[in-house]
Amino acid sequence: MVDANLTKQQSPPSDSTVLAETKKLLPRLSQSDIEHYVILSDASPIDVTMVGTLLEATFVKYIEVCNTLGWKPRPLRHKLVAVVFREQRDYNEFAAKYDKVNKSWAVGYYSPFTDRLVFYKSESGEDVQKVVRQLDSQQRKVQQVEQSQQAAGHALRPNVDLAHVKNQLAAEHDRINDLVAGTFVSTAVHEAAHQLFFHTDVQRSGASYPLWLAEGLATNFETERTDIHFGFQVDNWRRRDSFQLACDKDMIIPLQIVLTQDHFTDETNSNEAVGFFYAQAYALTNWLLRERPTELRLYLESLRDGSFAVAQDRQKNFEAIFGSVARLERNWVRYEGRRQKEFLTSPFAKSVLAKMPTAAKTIPADTAKSDMPQPNTAPNQSSTTTLETTTQSGRQSAPIPPK
């Protein structure tokens, strides 16, 4: 068994094939070495330091989760490689040309084929710049009005309406800055988690992984701040809120479909559909991490060793570890209902519980026994459902847009 406490091991070597090949592609970028990462960037030293802090915090959290759940990550073969562009256009060009990735809507990505992270500073994004230009234009108009009033001798007469507009514009600037910063942090942590899963062989590069699982695991690391407690033990409220909205719009996907799909809810990949898929993947995986950690570990190990490599057999393979999909879905719905009673009134929850066996419906919810095994019990053994009380250290935020 590999000791998961990799933070105590000697810092891995910097040199690697990944680094050498990336430097050949980007010879003009400066190199910065930190404990577990090498960062190539043309951004400011302050920005590089900030990104390095996020990556190292994610590494520490990842090892903590591995220790908690009994996962067996392999030691880093070398320092992990991350690229940080100052401008979005350079990011887009590199992603399309060398990684064959079209993620202009995201501030970063992880390429499992090249084993590197690629980001750009989110304030350079076209959408952000457009909003900032609009705000700056409005501020200039306000300044012109102020100057006109001063020239007319009205400087000693406070203009309440003008002051209100100035405060609104300042607040909107702050909101945009916070949103941009939070989005970058959340994306960086999400993509860094992907890299750690694959590089340490908890997920194996080249193996077939269900989309819900790969994204569900990464979303459970998301946070807008790495200086406070984060991870699956703390609710990701942005994903939670998106999940609730999906419930309200009756856009929760039946578990039987989620387990087998390789694409999002429709071929259009609309922002709303993709966002709801990520939210559902988050909620489902979060429940498994908290309530079915043993089965989830066994499932990950089976996917890694190739036992469940055939994508067409995903439901059968899933049930070999977790038991009946229908029973598992009912238990998940009950869990979500205990968290928030309104969930039980959603069309999705009603349809799932309507399929319960007649005998099971007569058992009160508070005393009903789970028809799925709990962690540390045999796969076919029933045991009483344990519903964990969620503790929070503040509302964690992670953006709804896909990663």
287 and 236 share one domain: yes
Helices (H) and strands (E) counted in the chain, each on its own, are: 14, 7
User: What letter represents residue 39's amino acid?
Assistant: I
Give yes or no for residue 353 having a pLDDT over 80: yes
Roughly what angle, to the nearest 10 degrees, separates helices 325-339 and 347-354?
Answer: 130
| Inside any domain, residue 146 | yes
Average pLDDT over residues 169-193: 73
Per-residue pLDDT at 183: 86
Look over the chain and give the mean of its residue pLDDT values, rounded to a whole number: 81
pLDDT of residue 263: 73
Is the pLDDT assigned to residue 59 strictly greater than 90?
Answer: yes
pLDDT at residue 21, rounded to an integer: 98
Cα–Cα distance measured from residue 364 to residue 374, given in angstroms and rounded to the nearest whole number: 19
pLDDT for 179: 57
Sign (positive/negative) of CA torsion 31, 33, 34, 35? positive
What is the predicted pLDDT for the residue at 202?
96
Number of CB atoms found within 10 A of residue 184's CB: 24
* Chain centroid to CA 125: 20
In angstroms, the CA 294 to CA 288 distance is 9
Are 198 and 70 contained in the same domain?
yes
Orientation of helix 160-199 relative to helix 126-151, angle to 10°: 160
Ranked by mean pLDDT, the top range of 69-78, 137-146, 147-156, 309-318 is: 69-78
Q: Using one digit for the tens of pLDDT, what is the confidence trace for 244-266?
A: 999 999 999 999 999 988 776 55
User: Could you tell me if residue 391 is inside a domain?
Assistant: no
pLDDT at 374: 40
Interatomic CA distance for residues 186 and 225, integer angstroms: 8
Domain of residue 138 covers 129-170
Q: Are residues 90 and 123 in the same domain?
A: yes
Distance CA 7, CA 205 (A): 23
d(CA 35, CA 181): 24
Running DSSP on this structure, what letter comes out for residue 107? S
- On whether residue 295 sits in a domain, the answer given is yes
Q: What is the total count of domains within the chain? A: 3
- Domain identity same for 288 and 308: yes
241 shares its domain with 329: yes
The answer to whether residues 110 and 147 belong to one domain is no
Q: Residue 65 belongs to a domain with what CATH number?
A: 3.40.30.160
The span from the CA of 139 to the CA of 154, in Å, is 19
